[in-house]
Structures are given as structure tokens and as C-alpha cells.
Amino acid sequence: MLEHLHEHISLELQVNTRTDTIFVVTAIIFNFVMLGIGSAMAGQAADPGNDPTTPTIVLFIALGLALLVNVITIVGLLTGRETRQKLQNGLFKMYRDAEVDQYYDETLLTNYMRRYTLFAGIIGLVGLATLSIPLVILLTS
């Protein structure tokens, strides 16, 4: 039974890692696409020869979507971090009970949590650039 439980926890950790990877990659790609769209729309809206209505509306829709995607991604990463911590705590307790915990360095838990913080920071910074660059273009042109 213990072996089955270990296999199940390991599988859950793999699923958790894949899900987090999908969140991060999707958010980065989406942010760069929205940065391009937002910057183009801001440039068109700021051009005195154009009617700024449509580009401005598209710009604010793009910025709103970018904000939502970034918030959802960060919440997803924080949920993934919490899930991983619970799974690894269970795994470590299992190792301790089986008296094989000396083969698993408990500081790995801290490293995993730090990695989630870094991922969330990257998403936050790229999202901030996605939101602020088009606004700067719009407001300074």
C-alpha cells in the first residue's frame, strides 16, 4: 500500500509540474502577443491622422485581457505551490516513517517554494511591461 501511495504522490507532483509549466509558458507568450497588439493600437490611437476610437477600444480590451490572464496565472502558480508543498510534506513524512528520510534533503522544499516565487515575479514583471508600455506610447505621443 505504501508503494502505491508513493507512486500516486509522485504522479501528482508530475501533473503539478506540467500544469505550472503550461501556466508560465502560456502567460509569457500571451503577454508578448498582447504587448505587440497593445503597442500597435497605442501607436495608431496616438497618430493625429487617425480616428483614435477603435484603436483605443482595442487597446483597453487587450490590456484588460492581459491583466486577467496575469492574475489567473499568478493565482494558479500560488495554488500549484500550495499543492506541491502539501504533496512533498506527505512524501517527506512517509520517508521519515519508513526511516529513509536521510536520503531526501528537506531543504528542497524551500528551493521549490523559491522557484514559485521567481516564476510569479517573472509573470508579474512581464505583465507589468505588457500593461505599461502601450500606455506610455499612448500617453506620450
Please write the tens of the pLDDT for every residue from 111-140: 888 999 999 999 999 999 999 999 999 999
Show the cell assigned to 17: 509540474
Tell me if 109 sits within 8 A of 88, measured CB to CB: yes
Distance CA 141, CA 137 (A): 6
Show the cell assigned to 88: 512533498
What is the pTM for the complete model shown? 0.86
Rg (CA), the chain: 21
Total number of domains in the chain: 1
pLDDT digits (tens, 9 = 90+) for 65-110: 999 999 999 999 999 999 999 999 999 999 999 888 888 888 888 8
Show the cell assigned to 122: 517573472
Query: Could you list the residue range(s) of the whole structural domain that residue 40 is in?
Result: 2-140
> To 5 degrees, how large is the angle CA 58–CA 63–CA 67?
150
Tell me if 24 sits within 8 A of 123, measured CB to CB: yes
For 140, counting Cβ atoms within 10 Å of its Cβ (0-12 exposed, 13-18 middle, 19+ buried), the class is: exposed
Distance CA 36, CA 26 (A): 16
